[in-house]
Amino acid sequence: MLGLIGAGGAGLALGGVGGAFAGAQTVRGERAARAYDFHGEHQQGVTTLSPDALVLASLDMVDGATVDDLRELLADWTYAASRLAQGLEVAEDGAIGASPEAPPPDSGEALGLDAAGLTLTFGVGPTLFDDRFDLAERRPAALVDLPLFAGDLLEPARCGGDLVIQACAADSQVALHAVRNLLRIGFGRAQVRWLQTGFTHAEGSAERTMTPRNLLGFKDGSANLRVDDAAHLGEFVWVGDDADQPWMAGGTYLVARRIRMTVESWDRTRLREQERVIGRTKVEGAPLSGGEERDDVDLDATDDTGQPAMDADAHVRLAHPSVTGTRILRRPFNYVDGVTSVGQLDAGLVFLSFQRDPEQFVTIQRSLRTDLLNEYIRHVGSAVFAILPGVAEGESLGDRLLG
Amino acid sequence: MLGLIGAGGAGLALGGVGGAFAGAQTVRGERAARAYDFHGEHQQGVTTLSPDALVLASLDMVDGATVDDLRELLADWTYAASRLAQGLEVAEDGAIGASPEAPPPDSGEALGLDAAGLTLTFGVGPTLFDDRFDLAERRPAALVDLPLFAGDLLEPARCGGDLVIQACAADSQVALHAVRNLLRIGFGRAQVRWLQTGFTHAEGSAERTMTPRNLLGFKDGSANLRVDDAAHLGEFVWVGDDADQPWMAGGTYLVARRIRMTVESWDRTRLREQERVIGRTKVEGAPLSGGEERDDVDLDATDDTGQPAMDADAHVRLAHPSVTGTRILRRPFNYVDGVTSVGQLDAGLVFLSFQRDPEQFVTIQRSLRTDLLNEYIRHVGSAVFAILPGVAEGESLGDRLLG
């Protein structure tokens, strides 16, 4: 089902990419085959390849919560996440049915399901560093709210948050179960602010070598950073030891944007225009400047008539590293949330990108100001979070941040 | 991934249950392994086992549409569905990239994906038989709006509709792609009214022998009608040749309810109380009257103290056939749609049931008036549809209805 992260050889082969797989310490036997180890230098869910289902939750600390509440919450989450990632009950084995006079410590809907490649990724937002927890001096300079970009139509209820949990799995039920139980652990300390689901699926899922398509019907990510390119990840994604806040070494920054696509308008647009807007062919995903999907875009190429092969405002051109001067690791999902009040699908892209400084995203987003694609999309949700560094066994996610 | 509907033997074994699998007529080679044939006595998506992903769309015919528009729409949908079920482009092979000066006839996001066990199921609502299309005399007596039940908190935007499309697949991307393209085919004739997504996943997905769990964490469907029990399906699900409207022979009725669960309250409820409410144990799903999950409920059983083993208002008791006198084929999915305005998860059950008369559902729902579970759930969406009989090759879904 999640071919890449199988047992044995395939799992080992992944060790250098997204982390090692948990072994025999789980109690579920063969179900452990699809489990990532929660521990490591970096958190999972950044360079692990995108699985089919996303549940992304933003939370706010409740009124009156203290820094001790925050510390204990992060410790509780660390323990719970290390179990959930193995496909185990959130508290301890068998606890669901053990105490008739207490609420079950795990909500139960993942009982019997395997880990389904679950990754859980935790981060903190800029607001956590206001005057509530005496953390202002620990705020990384890079962790500030994103500017308002041209065309943004942000809905406050879909923006911001003190904390974030990203759950990705091959199975929606497993991803939601994890987030729900982590939210529940936060009860009385943190409260969910918004929750966003997403999905994706790529041809050849057994190898995950193909580029998934977004709801524009185009391949999305052909020129993305490769998760096995350690040099680029070090340059563009992971915060290094030279960070202004040493606690962020090994972390990264997440930018999350809910980008609505007016798919009905797009679907009535001619193929030639769709391809002009994107700068790639629809079926193959090849750059309009020629070559095949994975070939680099030639911004100076001309067509038979001597005209530029790619529109000056084509999406892939304005997003191209040679134009923006920077790169990010994108990890997009598609979403559909019913129908709008005017009878259109409320569907689009959950844009997630990881970068060592949110300014990389800002630079690219500013370059897209004249993007032809803007006619068909609306940014309606936005948030930025510092993704905490990974933890070793026995460490808590909050140890380095809270000292 | 969708173990039950594999190629070869497993697929053939399913022939008696949910219908036969498409063979070599698809162009996608091995990808055809997960394809159901759209044609048959009954539509797919009723007795086919629940796959992981649901997209359910309700539509209204647009103002001014004629019965000819309806006829053509159903014919267009028949053609499109027969292709989508095979994992093919909705129009014709290769059409997406063929005409630069036209909008691509398929939106493209399923290019390269296989059929993923896609089933498409079409139906018509009571409103289709009002005075717009001169169909009043063809309305089955059973096709009327459901009554308002005690405790219903229905939101009009989540209720009703002239037409319904149910898409189920192992893959959300495939299910959404199908519905989106069918909606698009309806442009100018029918307009989406509401759209509901859902998911489910059961232990042992390769065999689908285990009962999936709902977001209460309980197994849901242990005493459901079995999809391989032809006698019961004939008695309770499929409309027979004796129907008041002959065009409905081979069809069935779908009741769709969006049932919100206040999961935060549920999660703070003691295990003993949760089990009393449901009438089953949480971990095993065994009736409180004793025995194992699949054993029948003994409504007269007593515990060690001589008290009834099951509360008089336990959910499984009030829903039990010996109490209601009837049965339905349930096909539930879970849903999560973000966060409510008061910071709770908007999550619950997409209750789908199939029955030869919606009155079966009405009877059961009335029996549940004093259900202990009502404290934790709210019915917020409701619709009823006549599911059209299946079609043979060359037939259109509208042929029998429209004569």
What kind and span of H or E run contains A347? strand A345-355
Q: Is B9 on the interface with A (CB under 8 A)?
A: no
Question: CA A378 to CA A260: how far, in whole Å?
Answer: 5
Is the confidence at residue A357, as pLDDT, over 80?
yes
- Going by the DSSP 8-state scheme, the letter that residue A105 receives in this structure is S
Counting one residue from chain A and one from chain B, the pairs whose CB atoms sit within 8 A come to 214
CB contact under 8 A, A213 and B102: no
Of A11-20, A32-41, B104-113, minimum mean pLDDT range: A11-20
**45-74 in A: which are within 8 Å (CB) of B?**
52-53, 55
What mean pLDDT is reported for chain A?
Answer: 90
Which residues does chain B have within 8 Å of residue A172's beta carbon, measured at their own beta carbons? Answer: 52-53, 172, 199, 201, 334
CB contact under 8 A, B338 and A195: yes
Which residues does chain A have within 8 Å of residue B187's beta carbon, measured at their own beta carbons? Answer: 264
Which residues does chain A have within 8 Å of residue B202's beta carbon, measured at their own beta carbons? Answer: 112
Confidence of residue A204 (pLDDT cuts 50, 70, 90): low
Closest chain A residue to the Cα of B337, Cα to Cα: A337
Write out chain B in H/E/C secondary structure: CCHHHCCCHHHHHHCCCCCCECCCCCCCHHHHHHCECCCCCCCCCCCCCCCCEEEEEEEEECCCCCHHHHHHHHHHHHHHHHHHCCCCCCCCCCHHHCCCCCCCCCCCCCCCCCCCCCEEEEEECHHHHCCCCCCHHHCCCCCCCCCCCCCCCCCHHHECCCEEEEEEECCHHHHHHHHHHHHHHCCCCEEEEEEEEEECCCCCCCCCCCCCECCCCCECCCCCCCCCCHHHHHHHCCCCCCCCCHHHCCCEEEEEEEEEECHHHHHCCCHHHHHHHHCECCCCCCECCCCCCCCCCCCCCECCCCCECCCCCCHHHHCCHHHHCCCCEECCEEEEEEECCCCCEEEEEEEEEEECCHHHHHHHHHHHHHCHHHHHEEEEEEEEEEECCCCCCCCCCCHHHHC
- Nearest of A155, A182, A152, A147 to residue A167 by alpha carbon: A182
pLDDT above 70: percentage of residues in chain A: 90
Give the minimum alpha-carbon distance from B193 to chain A in angstroms, rounded to a whole number.
Answer: 6
pLDDT score of A208: 53
Where is pLDDT greater, at A8 or A37? A37
Is the confidence at residue A160, as pLDDT, over 90?
yes
B397 to A127, B43, B247, B310: CA distances (angstroms): 56, 10, 11, 46
Mean pLDDT across A106-120: 95
CB contact under 8 A, A345 and B183: yes
pLDDT score of B225: 92
- Nearest of B217, B272, B342, B173 to residue A177 by alpha carbon: B217
To test the contact with chain B by mutation, choose from A59, A109, A176 the residue with the greatest count of B C-beta atoms within 10 A, namely A109
Q: Is B382 on the interface with A (CB under 8 A)?
A: no
Q: Is B321 on the interface with A (CB under 8 A)?
A: no
Bridge-based pairing state of the strands A53-61 and A163-169: antiparallel
Is the confidence at residue B296, as pLDDT, over 80?
yes
SS3 A159: strand
Q: Is B183 on the interface with A (CB under 8 A)?
A: yes
Question: CA B120 to CA B62: how far, in whole Å?
Answer: 22
CB contact under 8 A, B100 and A180: no
CB B22 within 8 A of CB B116: no
Where is pLDDT greater, at B18 or A366? A366
Nearest CB to B173: which of A184, A192, A200? Answer: A200
Confidence of residue A149 (pLDDT cuts 50, 70, 90): very high
Is the confidence at residue B11, as pLDDT, over 80?
no
Write out A175-220 in H/E/C secondary structure: HHHHHHHHHHHCCCCEEEEEEEEEECCCCCCCCCCCCCECCCCCEC
CB contact under 8 A, A203 and B263: no
Confidence of residue A213 (pLDDT cuts 50, 70, 90): very high
Mean pLDDT across A134-157: 97
Q: What is the pLDDT of residues A294-321, one digit of tens each?
A: 999 999 999 999 999 999 999 999 999 9
Q: Is B337 on the interface with A (CB under 8 A)?
A: yes
CB contact under 8 A, B97 and A269: no
Is the confidence at residue B380, as pLDDT, over 70?
yes
Confidence of residue B33 (pLDDT cuts 50, 70, 90): low
To test the contact with chain B by mutation, choose from A96, A111, A277 the residue with the greatest count of B C-beta atoms within 10 A, namely A111
CB B74 within 8 A of CB B398: yes
Q: Where are the domains of chain B?
A: 31-94+104-401
Q: Is B206 on the interface with A (CB under 8 A)?
A: no
DSSP A318-329: HTSHHHHS---E
- Nearest of B73, B389, B396, B61 to residue B245 by alpha carbon: B389
Bridge-based pairing state of the strands B345-355 and B333-339: antiparallel
Question: CA A190 to CA A208: how far, in whole Å?
Answer: 36
Mean pLDDT across B276-280: 98
Question: CA A358 to CA A328: how far, in whole Å?
Answer: 9
CB contact under 8 A, A187 and B264: yes
- Residue appearing with tokens 């849901």: B220
Nearest CB to B96: which of A282, A336, A344? Answer: A282
pLDDT score of B204: 58
Where is pLDDT greater, at A21 or A59? A59
To test the contact with chain B by mutation, choose from A5, A56, A92, A107 the residue with the greatest count of B C-beta atoms within 10 A, namely A107
Closest chain A residue to the Cα of B102, Cα to Cα: A270
Beta bridge partners of B49: none
Question: CA A246 to CA A308: how far, in whole Å?
Answer: 47
CB contact under 8 A, B111 and A345: no
Closest chain B residue to the Cα of A62, Cα to Cα: B343
Question: CA A105 to CA B34: how far, in whole Å?
Answer: 38
CB B35 within 8 A of CB B7: no
CB contact under 8 A, A97 and B52: no
Question: CA A169 to CA A116: how far, in whole Å?
Answer: 6
Q: Is A272 on the interface with B (CB under 8 A)?
A: yes
- Residue appearing with tokens 């509401």: B194
Q: H helices within A85-134, ranges in order?
A: none
Q: H helices within A218-350, ranges in order?
A: 230-236, 263-267, 271-278, 315-318, 321-324
CB contact under 8 A, A184 and B109: no
- Residue appearing with tokens 């404290």: B375
pLDDT score of A209: 64
CB contact under 8 A, A264 and B187: yes
CB contact under 8 A, A195 and B267: no
Q: Is B76 on the interface with A (CB under 8 A)?
A: no
Question: CA B36 to CA A189: how far, in whole Å?
Answer: 49
pLDDT above 90: percentage of residues in chain B: 84
Confidence of residue B38 (pLDDT cuts 50, 70, 90): very high
Q: pTM here? A: 0.92
Q: Is B370 on the interface with A (CB under 8 A)?
A: no
- Nearest of A80, A109, A77 to residue A96 by alpha carbon: A109
Mean pLDDT across A279-307: 94
- Nearest of A194, A144, B27 to residue A136 by alpha carbon: A144
Radius of gyration (Cα) for chain B, nearest Å?
21
Burial B338-361 (b: 16+ CB within 10 A, else e): bbeeeebbbbbbbbbbbbbbbebb
Which residues does chain B have within 8 Å of residue A195's beta carbon, measured at their own beta carbons? Answer: 336, 338-339, 345
pLDDT score of A33: 58
Bridge-based pairing state of the strands B53-61 and B163-169: antiparallel
Single-letter amino acid code for the residue at B221? G
To test the contact with chain A by mutation, choose from B118, B200, B213 the residue with the greatest count of A C-beta atoms within 10 A, namely B213
What mean pLDDT is reported for chain B?
Answer: 90
Nearest CB to A338: which of B196, B217, B272? Answer: B196
CB contact under 8 A, B109 and A53: no
Which residues does chain A have within 8 Å of residue B204's beta carbon, measured at their own beta carbons? Answer: 112
pLDDT above 90: percentage of residues in chain A: 84
Confidence of residue A34 (pLDDT cuts 50, 70, 90): confident
CB contact under 8 A, A282 and B104: yes
Of A17-21, A289-293, A320-324, A371-375, minimum mean pLDDT range: A17-21
SS3 A140: coil
Single-letter amino acid code for the residue at B84? L
CB contact under 8 A, A263 and B112: no
Sign of the four-CA dihedral B382, B388, B394, B396: negative
Mean pLDDT across A69-74: 98
Which residues does chain B have within 8 Å of residue A344's beta carbon, measured at their own beta carbons? Answer: 192
Mean pLDDT across B351-367: 98
Q: Is A193 on the interface with B (CB under 8 A)?
A: yes
Where is pLDDT greater, at A26 or B68? B68
Where is pLDDT greater, at B288 or B203? B288
pLDDT score of A392: 97
Question: CA A86 to CA A395: how far, in whole Å?
Answer: 17
Mean pLDDT across A254-274: 98
- Going by the DSSP 8-state scheme, the letter that residue A49 receives in this structure is P
CB contact under 8 A, A187 and B336: no
Give the minimum alpha-carbon distance from A187 to chain B in angstroms, rounded to a whole number.
Answer: 9
CB contact under 8 A, A334 and B176: yes
Where is pLDDT greater, at A205 or A238? A238
Question: Residue A11: CB partners within 8 Å, gap ≥ 6?
Answer: A5, A20, A21, A33
- Backbone φ and ψ for A349, nearest 5 degrees, come out as -120, 130
Six token digits for residue B256: 């769709």
To test the contact with chain B by mutation, choose from A89, A99, A113, A174 the residue with the greatest count of B C-beta atoms within 10 A, namely A113
B155 to A27, B257, B261: CA distances (angstroms): 45, 11, 15
Nearest CB to A199: which of B107, B172, B218? Answer: B172
